[in-house]
Amino acid sequence: MALTGNLEFEIEIQSPAIEFFNFFTKQLYNLPNATGSVHLGEIHEGHDWHAIGSVKHWSYTVDGKVVTCKERFEELDKENKSVKVELFEGDVKKEYKSFKFILKATEKEGGGGIATWSFFYEKIHEGIPDPIGYLDLAATMTKDVDAHLLLSAQKGK
C-alpha cells in the first residue's frame, strides 16, 4: 500500500462556475452558514481570509466525527478558477504528513458548471486509509454551497 496518493472527482453544479469559485475564494468566511458539515471557521493568522498564506482554523465533520485543522491558500488562479489549499495541524496531522487539495470550477455550455476536487496526501503509515471521508465532505459542501448560491440568486431577483 502506497503512503502517497491522490484522489479526484467531479461534481456538477447548477450555479455559474464563477460564482461557485468566488464563494470559495471571496466568501469563505460564510462557509459555516452554507453547509452544516462545517461548524466553525475563523481567521487565525493574517488580515484577509482570502490572501495567499493567511491561516484559517476550521471545525468540520468527516466520517461522522467532528475534527479540526488549519488551512491556507497556496495558489490562486482566478483566470482558470482554481485554488490550491494546504490543510495542516489539528486532526488531519494525526493521519497525514501532508494534505492538499485543488478546487477548480469550470463553466458548462448552457449554464452551470463542474467542480473538480483533487486531493494529494501522504499518510503517516500504511495502516491509514485513503481519505474517502474528505471526498464525501467535499461533495456535501459542493451541493450545499451550490444550493446556497441558487437560493441567494432567487432572493436577489
What pLDDT is recorded for position 155?
80
pLDDT value for 157 = 55
Superfamily of chain region 4-156: START domain (3.30.530.20)
Q: Is the Cβ–Cβ distance between 122 and 9 less than 8 Å? A: no
Answer whether 121's CB lies under 8 Å from 98's CB: yes
C-alpha cell at 129: 486509509
pLDDT of 153 reads: 83
pLDDT in the model for residue 46: 87
Listed by start position, the domains of the chain span 4-156
Give the mean pLDDT per block of 10 residues along the chain (157 residues).
Answer: 91 97 96 97 90 95 97 96 97 97 96 97 96 97 97 78
At residue 1, the pLDDT reads 60
Question: CA–CA separation, 82 vs 67, rounded Å?
Answer: 25
H or E element at residue 144: helix 132-156
Residue 2's pLDDT is 81
How many whole angstroms separate alpha carbon 7 and alpha carbon 5? 7
Q: What is the pTM of this model?
A: 0.94
